[in-house]
Amino acid sequence: MALQSVNVLLGVTGGIAAYKAPDLVRKLTGLGANVRVVLSPSSAAFVTPLSLQAVSGNIVHQHLLDPEAEAGMGHIELARWADVLLIAPATAHCLAKLAHGMADDLLTTLVLATPAPIFIAPAMNQQMWAAAATQANLKTITERGITCFGPASGEQACGDIGYGRMLETVDIAQMLDEAVAALKALSGNEKTAATATNEPSEGSQDTPGLLAGKHIVITAGPTREAIDPVRYISNHSSGKMGYCLAVQALAMGAEVTLVSGPVDIPVPMGCKVIQVQSAVDMHAAVMHAVRQSCDIFIACAAVADYRVADIASQKIKKDNDEMTLTLVKNPDILADVAALPSPPFTLGFAAETHDVERYARGKLTRKKLNMIAANDVSQPDIGFNQNDNALTVFTADAQMVLPKQDKLALATQLLTILTNQVRK
């Protein structure tokens, strides 16, 4: 359990979902975390400080200008104590204050004062979640490194149905545990090696992740289509998005097979990796892996659409001013997996330079996929060879925007959406 002995500062804001906060504290402490709770001014209307103190075993913090606490600069001490700051529920008002850097209460002051990674679990009416202002605020804070868990889609307290419902407390706790495990694994912390390989450390309990028991096959990176022994056709894919998905899927408890084109990225611990060069090689490796055992297939690789019809056995010399290559279409890996008699859950990617939604929806329908994640690779600051990305996720009946952020954080959000879809 990655949260074992981790100091989690839980911020609770004033939405109806605040009544779930005591249960969330119990779930976090059950994973070994040390939990302290901070209430926003309005959250006490929905949940009492005494109930949170009872389940956390610590005094609940409410006021920024508490003379007794501030004698020792209490808010700074809390900010330093935290290894992780989680805000759940995070209301639309909370997101707006975070986006604008406001520090008008204890919780928002702590957000600015802590060096710890920050996570939010939004909860609000579906129309408030869809509002342009809320989405703009979300984009701003995720670009600053805050990771968003959810929200989920379902029936809300007001009677509406749609996205905006806070994730279940067990899922939030598990996702935080998995996110901390992934961060530790990427930082090379040897103490988390057991977590990164999905093996419980000595003396710990084996807590299943959201994807426990699932075998996921992921493709990543580019393919190289040979012209002659020294030249090839390829693209600008770095493989970072696919590898981040593999890291996070492992942290969520999945068994992962990564079919990778040529990249310069370390192999994630605990991941089975099959190295390939060409699209034909990748097609063969994927079909074999999927037919053996596969619950979910994620086609993240940038596979070359065409290959050279006749590969020269010797290096082609520059004897002519022009050279003509005859190209033939490569097999469609994603379509072939989706067309199997009993296909796994299929998530495709659509890297486009224009008309992103139209092409993505067309690919979703034409290839009979369960989900597709589309991104605009014409933007120089996201996508290929970048640490950040932004996605719009489409299913047959829904559309979700994941704003620009670090690819690891983006992988967490995308796999959360995928998990909810798989459960349907």
- pLDDT band for 216, please (50, 70, 90 cuts): very high
- Average pLDDT of the chain to the nearest whole number: 85
**Per-residue confidence (pLDDT) for residue 384, from 0 to 100:** 72
Looking at the structure, do residues 161 and 271 belong to the same domain, yes or no?
no
Token pair recorded at residue 255:
């068994």
Q: Is residue 197 part of a domain?
A: no
One domain, residues 161 and 261: no
Quick check: 374 and 356 in contact, CB under 8 A?
Answer: yes
38-73 burial code (b ≥16 CB/10 A, e <16): bbbebbbebbebeebbebbeeebbbbbeeeebeeee
Q: How confident is the model at residue 156 (pLDDT cuts 50, 70, 90)?
A: low
Say whether both 76 and 213 belong to one domain. Answer: no
Which is the catalytic residue, given 94, 148, 158, 294?
158
Mean pLDDT, to the nearest integer, of 46-68? Answer: 83
Domain assignment of residue 195, yes or no: no
Q: Are residues 251 and 135 in the same domain?
A: no
Identify whether residues 184 and 253 lie together within a single domain.
no
Instruction: Tell me which residue range forms the domain holding 234.
Output: 208-314+321-423
**Is the same domain home to 73 and 154?**
yes
Nearest to 271 by CA among 238, 239, 244, 247: 247
Q: Interior CA angle at 166 toward 165 and 170, to 5°?
A: 135
Q: Identify whether 1 is part of a domain.
A: no
Rounded Cα distance between 57 and 356, Å, is 50
Q: Same structural domain for residues 184 and 286? A: no
Is 364 inside a domain boundary? yes
CATH number of the domain encompassing residue 213: 3.40.50.10300
CATH number, domain at 150?
A: 3.40.50.1950
pLDDT 10s digits, 275-305: 999 999 999 999 999 999 999 999 999 999 9
Catalytic residue status for 158: yes
Co-location of 218 and 116 in the same domain: no
Last residue of a domain, one of 190, 220, 249: 190
| DSSP conformation letters of 302-334 | B--SEEESS--SSPPP--SS-----EEEPP-HH
296 within domain boundaries = yes
What residues contact residue 79 under an 8 Å CB cut-off, 6+ apart? 110, 113, 114, 115, 116
Q: Is residue 201 part of a domain?
A: no
In a domain, 203, yes or no: no
Structurally, how many domains does the chain consist of? Answer: 2
Does a structural domain hold residue 202?
Answer: no
pLDDT, mean of residues 322-329:
93
Pairing of strands 388-394, 399-406: antiparallel
Tokens at residue 288, please?
């074999």
Pair (186, 212) in one structural domain: no
Residues 186 and 245 in one domain: no
Q: Give the whole-angstrom CA distance, residue 123 versus residue 394.
A: 21
Residues 227, 182, single domain; the answer is no
